[in-house]
Amino acid sequence: MPSFRYVAIDSAGQVQRGFMDAADQASVIERLQRQGHIPMRAEPAGKAGFLDSLLSAEFGRRRGLTRQEVANATRELAIMLGAGQDLDRALRFLVDTAPNKRVAKIMGEVRDKVRGGTSLAVALSQQPQSFNRLYVGLVRAGEAGGTLGDTLDRLAVLLERERSLAATIQSAMLYPALLMVTAVGSVGFLLTYVLPQFVPMFAESGAELPTLTRIVIALGDFVSHYGLWTLLALIVIGVAIRQLLQDPARRLPFDALLLRMPIVGGLMRETLAARFSRTLGTLLKNGVPLITALGIVKEAIGNLAAVRAVETATESAKGGAGLSRPLAQAGIFPIRTIHLLRLGEETAQLGQMSLRAAEIHEEQSRLIVQRLVSLLVPVITIAMGMAVAAIVGSLLLAMLSLNDLAS
């Protein structure tokens, strides 16, 4: 039976660490709960070998926390506060159980600021590379309303949902990406290694080669001599375009174009709507005023065309004209978003309806990704097959022409 390493809080509020033999992680959590403990972590207690050390090592000079580390810290902090622990003990737990020195250092600095009399929101705001304005704004609202534990719980849900959606898209697109790399590599191998083996034989024969064979030989010659330079040029062009898009005046039409693209544009609109709705709903449910919430939301969207739409809606909301109408006129967000926001405004449940809209758009995003993968995989496979068939066919045609000449 496998062994698991666990961290839990007992009925006295003390942190307990140990090992437990169980069939799976769920069994460990269930047993700890029956003992009156609050489980914090339960992970396989395998021996830490060289590979484990390598995977957990810190590379580079990352100064802030990753999104996953922020989500984990938020969830653990919410559990500690929900268990009745004070903020100082909860922060000390995060420092003591940090997965690496960088996380321990950052959370230690936050704890030192709080122990010095600074509010948690202010302490977090001094770590901008780890905690953005949205995070700080929600924590500030939670502290002001005396609901910090509940606020952190909602914030953890927000971060986990965003991370889950991003991970779903990345995982789904991994297979088409690997298939594309394999296809390009296979065709490149045929053009630069296999094909050149036959070229001297064709040249010695002196026969006129079929048009398809000449085209394939010319393509192979180009790839052999200029393939790496072409790849380098594409990388330079990509970097240059990225630098140009740092200018908001150039990025705005580019972002708007992305949202109008077939298939990909629909996916981007759904993910933007999910992010916008969940962020807005979380802020409103935690007591943040609408205008302030919209100011925070636009920083979390990322697409400048959507940001402009939110800015226009903010001005409309300031004048008391509502939020849904200007968003509908912008044509950025799906019509489902607009209807649910309008319903929320009419029933004075804008926060709740925004969260409902987020759930719908997250599910729609997953469905679009599944359809996109279902479309990409056969397209890439067929394209690779056609390319290989063209190369092999050109060689066969040339060989047949040589046989005809010999006879």
Instruction: Tell me the pLDDT of the chain (407 aa) as tens digits.
Output: 677 777 776 666 666 677 777 777 778 777 877 777 777 667 776 544 444 444 444 444 556 888 888 888 888 888 888 878 888 888 888 888 888 888 889 999 999 999 888 889 889 988 888 888 888 888 888 887 788 888 888 888 888 888 888 888 888 888 888 888 888 888 888 888 888 888 887 777 766 778 888 888 888 888 888 888 988 999 999 999 888 888 888 888 888 898 888 878 888 899 889 889 988 888 888 888 888 888 888 877 878 888 888 888 888 888 877 888 888 888 888 898 999 999 998 898 998 999 999 899 988 888 888 888 888 888 888 988 898 888 888 888 888 777 665 55
Closest C-alpha to 387, from 199, 212, 200? 212
Residue 48's pLDDT is 44
Give a three-class secondary structure readout of 328-359.
HHHCCCCHHHHHHHHHHHHCCCHHHHHHHHHH
Residue 291 in domain: yes
The token pair at 240 is 């240059």
**C-beta of residue 388 within 8 angstroms of C-beta of residue 188:** no
CA distance 363 to 368: 9
Closest C-alpha to 149, from 82, 76, 93? 82
Q: What is the CATH number of the domain that holds 281?
A: 1.20.81.30
Residue 233's pLDDT is 93
Residue 70 in domain: no
Residue 301 in domain: yes
Residue 246's pLDDT is 83
Q: Residue written as tokens 């000390």?
A: 92
Residue 92 in domain: no
Cα four-point dihedral sign 89, 94, 98, 104 = negative
Residue 235's pLDDT is 93
Residue 149 in domain: no
The token pair at 328 is 């509908």
Residue 19's beta-bridge partner residues? 5
**C-beta of residue 141 within 8 angstroms of C-beta of residue 286:** yes
Residue 360 in domain: yes
Residue 129 in domain: no
- Domain of 16 in residue numbering reads as 1-51
Residue 35 in domain: yes
Cβ contacts of 85 within 8 Å, gap of 6 or more? 9, 13, 93
H or E segment to which residue 5 belongs: strand 3-9
The token pair at 75 is 């969830």
Domain count, the chain: 2
